[in-house]
Amino acid sequence: MQEQVTEKNNIITLEDLRPRREEKKTFSDYFMPRRHSGILFDPKKCTGCGTCEMVCSLRNVSKIAPASASIEVLRDEENGKNFAILCQHCRKPLCIEACPTRAIEKGEDGIVWINKLFCVECGLCIMACPEAAPLRDPITEEVNKCDLCEGDPLCVEYCPAGALTFTKGKKIRWIKGLRWSVQTISFLLLAVILVGTFCSLKAGALSLSCPAGILQNIASSGTIVLVWILSAFLILGLTILAGRFFCGWICPFGFFLDLVDKITPKKIGWPSFLKSRMAKYGILAGAVGGSCAFGFQAFCPVCPIGSICRSYGATGTLNGANLGIMAVLAGLEVGEWRVWCRYFCPVGALLALFAKIGLIKIVIGANQCKKFSCIQCAEVCPMGIIDADKLREGISPVIRMTECITCMRCIDRCPYGAAKLRFRWQKAVPGNIEL
């Protein structure tokens, strides 16, 4: 090894001496989430007594010396706020990047810690941390950072107000399994077993019908049939109750796109002129207008949801033209998740109009959220509506329910329980302060 290095350029760098440990995704990661421990802080409960600083300093300097602690309680004298600054144990820590001696390491258990053997107290980790969480001891000038007391933090134990809580993150993600099973069953029902069903399924006088199809029906025929409206309201009512639940959990084409995304997990992104979320409303208006003009349902023949239902014929044959539409739209997935649903789907557009007056909302509370250090919710959101920039700055983002398909991936993924499903009249979680 040594020989090779010398041959290369005569200089041994840190990369040769202590190469960075690479995160390997093991087989079990696909089934069980890797748990990230951390300390959550609730500023509402904090009384500013500073007991956490006292007990923390015991670990650093073996003295009661609040100034040498790895946690700092800020006391805002103008607004009466208290806030504890402590390491968030980021998923991708910036301090590790900035440390010139590679003294900071992230262990298997997710704890980011400073290896005092290599630390030279330069303080660049403080400069690289968005929260400036590593703290410099005023006397010894050592840089101290929370290492969660190796899994049993003293500050949490001794906080008299209960403002600090220790969490190991979520154990199982049950929503994921539930959603996939519901999606599979509804796909099989709608696309394979009950042929051609989603567009209109008879059940007595009523039928389960595609609301966009009904709208086109009304436009093309010029007559309003009460049964049509009632049958459309089966799905529209669901939308008012649970947002675009249909898109995330039932839609067979959505399921198909989710499957495609398993094949293309890396996204190249589309240019911004393609990405207009208003386009789908335009397509919906065009479909209704077209139906009015031509006298037949203008969009339904090319509708991908309809195509997927019709592609599998009653005789067991596959319909070539319909499969073609699906292949083209699946190709778009190379760029982003669920491109069709995001920008073009007129059925989604109609549901979005009803989701706007829906009863539920999804909130991501900045109190429990670990901000810049995690942002997993934004990464897993198939519709890309969680503002990662806002989260990084520590502002809880506003989630537009017209775009949200209530797939609850964010709720499932958040290790700290910050993403929640709420009724629209319930108070949003605090932390929405814009500066």
Partner 1 sequence: MTNGKDRIAEAKRSSGAYGCVECGKCVAVCPMAEMYTNFSIEMSPRGIIKKTLTGNDIILDENIWYCTECNAGTDVCPQGVSCRDLIRYLKEIAIEKYAVKDIKYCTRCGKQFLSIPVKNFVFGRLKEEPPNVLNILELCPSCRREMYMLRNA
Partner 2 sequence: MKLFDNFYNMKVGIVDLSESSSAVVPLDDQIIAEKIGGVAVNEDLFKRYEDDDPLILGVGPLTGSFAPASCLSVATFLSPQTGNLCHVPLMLRIGPEMKFSGIDFLVIKGSTSQLKILHIEKGTIQVFSAEYLVKLAVPEAVQTLRKKIRHSRSIILAGPAADNGVFHAAVSMGVWGSLDKSGLAYWMASKGLKAIVFNGTGGLPFSHDNLAMGRKMVKDIVSFNRFRKEGFITILDRIGVESEVKKIIVKSKKKDLACYNCPFPCMSYVEFNWRDPRLKESPKIKEGTFLLDHTGFTAMARKRQADALVLMKECLNLGLDTSAVAELLPQEGTLETSLDFISDMAKADDENQVAENLYQGDIPLDKYVLFGSGIPPISPGDAEVDSSFWGKRVAMSMILGVCPILMLLFPNIHIANLLKFITVKNDDLESLQAIISSRIQSILMD
Q: Are 240 and 345 in contact (CB under 8 A)?
A: no
Q: What is the DSSP letter of 312?
A: B
**135: how many CB neighbours lie within 10 A of its CB?**
24
CB-nearer residue toward partner 1: 19 or 151 = 19
Which of the choices partner 1, partner 2, none does residue 139 contact, using the CB cut-off of 5 to 8 A by kind?
A: partner 2
206-236 residues labelled b (16+ CB within 10 A) or e (exposed):
ebbbbbbbbbbbbbbeeeeeeebeebbbebb
Q: Is 105 among the residues that bind partner 1 (CB under 8 A)? A: no
Q: Check binding of 395 to partner 1 (CB under 8 A).
A: yes
In the complex, minimum distance from the CB of residue 141 to partner 1, in angstroms, rounded to a whole number: 7
Window 275 to 314, contacts with partner 1 (CB under 8 A): none
Q: Binding residue for partner 2 (CB under 8 A) from 80, 271, 316, 320?
A: 80
Tokens for 308? 């997927």
Q: Is 160 or 265 the residue whose CB approaches partner 2 more closely?
A: 160
Contacts of 236 (CB under 8 A, 6+ apart): 211, 350, 351, 354
Q: Please report, for residues 34, 323, 371, the alpha-carbon distance to residue 287 in angstroms, rounded to integers and kept in the order given.
A: 46, 21, 42
**φ, ψ dihedrals at 34, nearest 5°:** -75, 125
How many residues form the binding site for partner 2 (CB under 8 A)?
29
Give min distance, CB of 76 to partner 2, in A: 10
Asked if 338 and 360 count as a contact pair (C-beta separation under 8 A), the reply is no
The piece of 12-20, 53-61, 305-313, 401-409 that touches partner 2 (CB under 8 A) is 53-61
Q: Output the CA angle 148-154-157, nearest 5 degrees.
A: 120
Q: Verify binding: residue 60, partner 1, rule CB under 8 A.
A: no
Is residue 147 a contact partner of residue 89, using CB atoms and an 8 Å limit? no
54 interacts with, out of partner 1, partner 2, none, CB within 5 to 8 A per kind:
partner 2
What does 55 bind: partner 2, partner 1, none (CB cut-off 5 to 8 Å by kind)? partner 2
What type of residue sits at position 313? G
Among 81, 116, 171, 356, binds partner 1 (CB under 8 A): 81
Candidates 33, 39, 68, 260: give the one binding partner 2 (CB under 8 A).
Answer: 68
Cα angle for residues 268, 269, 275 (degrees, 5° grid):
160
Q: Kindly state the smallest distance separating residue 97's Cβ from partner 1, in Å.
A: 5
Residue 336 binding result from partner 2, partner 1, none, given CB thresholds of 5 to 8 Å by partner type = none
Tokens at 111, concatenated: 């704890």
Find the shortest distance in angstroms from Cβ 429 to partner 1.
11
Residue 204's binding partner out of partner 1, partner 2, none, with CB under 5 to 8 Å set by partner kind:
none
- Cβ 51 to partner 2, closest distance in Å? 5
Structure tokens that stand for 328 in this block: 């083209």
Pick what 23 binds: partner 1, partner 2, none; C-beta below 5 to 8 Å, kind-dependent. Answer: none
Is residue 58 close enough to count as binding partner 2 by CB under 8 A? yes
The closest of 371, 378, 336, 363 to 425, measured between CA atoms, is: 363
Eight-class DSSP state of 97 = H
Is 138 near partner 2 (CB under 8 A)?
yes
Determine, following the binding rule CB under 8 A, whether residue 83 of this chain makes contact with partner 1.
yes
By the rule CB under 8 A, 392 interacts with partner 1: yes
List all residues 6 or more positions away from 124 whose beta carbon is below 8 Å from its beta carbon. 98, 99, 100
Complex with partner 1: residue 127 or 357, whichever CB lies closer: 127
The DSSP string of 2-34 is HHHHHHHHS---HHHHSPPPPPPPPGGGGTSPP
Kindly state whether residue 158 participates in binding partner 2, applying the rule CB under 8 A: yes
Is 48 a binder of partner 1 (CB under 8 A)? no
Distance CA 285, CA 276 (A): 15
Q: Dig out the tokens for 265 from the structure.
A: 């997990």
Residues near partner 1 (CB under 8 A) are 13-14, 43, 72, 74, 76, 79, 81-83, 85, 94, 97-98, 100-101, 120-124, 126-132, 141, 366-367, 371-372, 388-389, 392-395, 431, 433, 435
Footprint of partner 2 (CB under 8 A): 44, 47-51, 54-55, 57-58, 61-68, 77-82, 138-139, 158, 160-161
